Structure 1
């Protein structure tokens, strides 16, 4: 947004409009600081007069400097010196060492040059952000106490994966296998991002929501890990229907997770599988929820999920990238030498492990190796195979009734997942 766009102020000279904008924005900051003088430390810097004056100084320096920013920087240094003197006096007179007001003063000075150079949007954004940061002090400080160092490190790792590594990778396909480093790492970021979102929700909801919420969030993270956790936990309680229903719900969430990833990377595959995946997810989640609610004691405590680890570990990311490339190569040879039958056989085998690398490899190679219908069928086979494997895990690890119920449910879900093959 530019000041010239404000047609209703066309009767005013541009300099007048700019001065008015500077006064308005800096007054908001000064008003916020004035309101906290009485409740803060006795030596607080600035208020409703000081901050607008700082903004006007910055604007006047810009007018005098024109396109030469040297005078603007000199003015910035002079204002910074005055603010440093104010901060030194505050520290000398009290034990309070916060420098928020002084730093906001520097930001206020910059509003003047920004408005002069017709950067009203940036100036307004800085003003709004400054006022919000000042007003939300207690909330932000409380939030900082709740967030563990491990969570901050985890988010930093996500930035490393997505904002540092990804942009520098070449976006070109190499070798006969058409391996694109950028696309490969983008898949890693997307899969890790979906898992991380579920991981964060699990951390937030820790100790709340019970088994069923754990099943939903865990299924979005990894339905296989969630199945193992719920199966082991069922041995210590008598809530068979709750745990078997949770296992079914977790597998339903797997279809939702895969659908999101397909929507990101291959629209054609998503359109072909949208109907079956939505139906399978709905049947599994609704069926598992209804089954669990028939248990008279379903509101038991949330199971321990310490086995669910942060998905943004760099080692995990590189392992996934390696598996992804291996799946591209394996799919290439399977289709080239064995045709559609080879892809289907590979899909059935890959269901025994984590299906994400295999399915993601198909989103990148589908158009080059096989028709969309063949690739979609391979994904259906892989997810069905994965459900059968989870049924075996549940049958092996869970209590007797939970084991049999979970196995029946997951076999049924696997068969339902194969039904679309009859109409392809």
Structure 2
């Protein structure tokens, strides 16, 4: 007896159809691949998926044996491919096994169907992106590879070893949560960093601002201010990049809130969303005023997967968490706001995650957490304005002040309502 015995025949047939469709999707990609077409293609891959689905539907206990049996002809075909074509790539062979498992997943449950569809789509994209992936890997130098490898190694070793509980010796901090947030924030920056590397140094000014905002809006502001000083005629272009990088900080903070405390996200989305919309509208106006769309590269943005900056953020986050809890106990909401403003001068992420966590634990109310997060974002926005004045030209300073001033005003108005 299996879980499908009580299911309607239409459900079983629909799941089989999904399995075959996923196999056809992968098979079509392999059919057009230089190395995959002769091994297996648009007919064979649907059969792999159907094979896995039928075994999982009627003989679920035998699925491991069925996969082992499938490995035998696959190995023979792979050996022949290596012998006749001198191609030792394992991609198509691996894709065949994955497709079989995806077919089996469709028969597990409707959640399995959803997972199979998502994974099948991701596998197809990954297979079809062979050239861009290899080109991207070739662009990464040895120093960046070592830095990324060290960071990933430390994450894999340190995270499971950290205790997942509050420790009195650390004033009640949860070490695993602190390090998990370090990995999360660094991962956001690394995703944007990868996007920037894929697009290359000749990307447009708009993408430069977005990527710089997710990796380091402060570094973007410094770079644009220096470029405006070197060539004053580019003040509109540089102001656009600074504003774009600054407003990207708001949706980034919203993502962090949604991950740490989803219940707080709707409350925070209102002021941060309004600030994003106002900033985006002003940025569009700046873009059309720009005389050129010169390609701009943010030299200061580095690979976020580096151990020392990650440890520094972890220390800042732990300190902000402790100070915020104490400030709330001693001074109430005013203490939280003061801490948010001071913390925001250096880093918005630490305060955003801290208040999201405190709100989830009930230590502060949603309104206090929302206000504190917006205060930290406003404080960090002031830093961008100051950098534009100190390192850039007067025209750049005025443009950034007017635009980001309107952004801050919109956030303050919504908080006061």
1:331 counterpart (324, 332, 340): 324
* Matching residue within 274, 283, 299 for 2:278: 283
Deviation at 1:406, TM superposition (A): 1.7
The residue number in structure 2 matching 1:374 is: 368
**In the alignment, what sits opposite 1:229?**
223
Distance 2:130 2:264 in 1: 46
Once the two structures are TM-superposed, the CA of residue 332 in structure 1 deviates from its matched residue by 2.4
Rate the CA distance shift 1:8–1:334 in 2: closer, same or farther, 3 A.
closer
How many Å separate the matches in 1 of 2:41 and 2:317? 58
Match of 2:86 in 1: 96
Contact kept, 8 Å, 1:45 with 1:101, in 2: the verdict is no
Determine the structure 1 residue equivalent to 2:342.
Answer: 349
> CA 1:169–1:279 in 2, change beyond 3 Å: closer, same or farther?
same
Change (3 A) 1:329 1:294: same
Distance 1:343 1:33 in 2: 54
The answer on whether the counterparts of 2:31 and 2:40 sit within 8 Å (CA) in structure 1 is: no
1:185 to 2:175 alignment = no
Larger Rg: 1
Unaligned segments of structure 2, at least 5 residues: 53-59
Q: Which moved more, 1:380-389 or 1:236-245?
A: 236-245
Change in Cα spacing, 1:319 to 1:6, as seen in structure 2 (3 Å) is same
Q: Deviations over 1:226-281 (max 9, x none)?
A: 21121111123302222223322322221111112112212343332221111111
**2:407 and 2:78 mapped to 1: Cα distance?**
68
What SS does structure 2 have at the residue aligned with 1:239? helix
Q: Give 2:211's aligned residue.
A: 217
Given that 2:275 and 2:408 are in contact with CA atoms closer than 8 Å, whether structure 1 keeps it comes out as no
Q: Offset of 1:7 from its aligned partner?
A: 3.0
Q: How does 1:304-315 map to 2 (within 5 A)?
A: 304-315=297-308
The alignment partner of 1:353 has SS state of: coil
Match of 1:406 among 400, 403, 409: 400
With over 3 angstroms needed to count, the CA separation of the structure-2 counterparts of 1:47 and 1:342, relative to structure 1, is: closer
- Unpaired runs of 5+ residues, structure 1, are 11-19, 59-65
1:388 to 364, 382, 402: 382
Q: Distance in 2 between matches of 1:377 and 1:263?
A: 16
CA offsets per residue over residues 124-182 of structure 1, 9 Å max, x none? x7xx97xx77x997x45423431225399487678657766545544323338542233
TM-score w.r.t. the length of structure 2 is 0.71
Cα displacement string for residues 84-125 of structure 1 (whole angstroms, at most 9, x for unaligned residues): 8747xx64xx682526599579959x969x98xx98989xx7
Q: 1:219 touches 1:249 (CA, 8 Å); kept in 2? A: yes
Native 8 Å contact 2:136 2:198 kept in 1: no
For the structure 1 residues 247 and 69, does the alpha-carbon distance in structure 2 shift closer, same or farther, using more than 3 Å as the test?
Answer: closer
Relative to the length of structure 1, the TM-score reads: 0.70
Deviations 1:315-374 (A, max 9, x none): 322222221111111122322333333222222222221221122222222445433323
1:172–1:181 Cα contact (<8 Å) kept: yes
SS of 2:88's equivalent?
coil
Query: Do the aligned partners of 1:219 and 1:251 also contact (CA within 8 Å) in 2?
Result: yes
Give the conservation status (yes or no) of the 8 Å contact 1:253–1:285: no
Tell me the matched-pair count: 393
Q: Give distance in 1, aligned partners of 2:61 and 2:227.
A: 69
Q: Is the 8 A contact 2:256 2:352 kept in 1?
A: no
Q: What is aligned with 2:243?
A: 248
Quote the residue 1:204 is aligned against: 198
TM-aligned CA deviation for residue 379 of structure 1: 2.1
Q: 1:9 to 1:85 in 2, by over 3 A?
A: same
Matched-pair contact (CA < 8 Å) for 2:344–2:380: yes
Cα distance in 2 for residues equivalent to 1:370 and 1:420: 20
The structural deviation recorded for 1:287 is 0.8
Classify 1:216/1:105 alpha carbon distance in 2 versus 1 (closer, same or farther; 3 Å). Answer: closer
Aligned match of 1:174: 167
Query: 1 CA distance for matches of 2:184 and 2:88?
Result: 40
The answer as to whether partners of 2:274 and 2:410 remain within 8 angstroms in 1 is: no
Q: Do the aligned residues in 2 keep the contact of 1:384 with 1:415 (CA within 8 Å)?
A: no
Shift of 1:207: 3.9
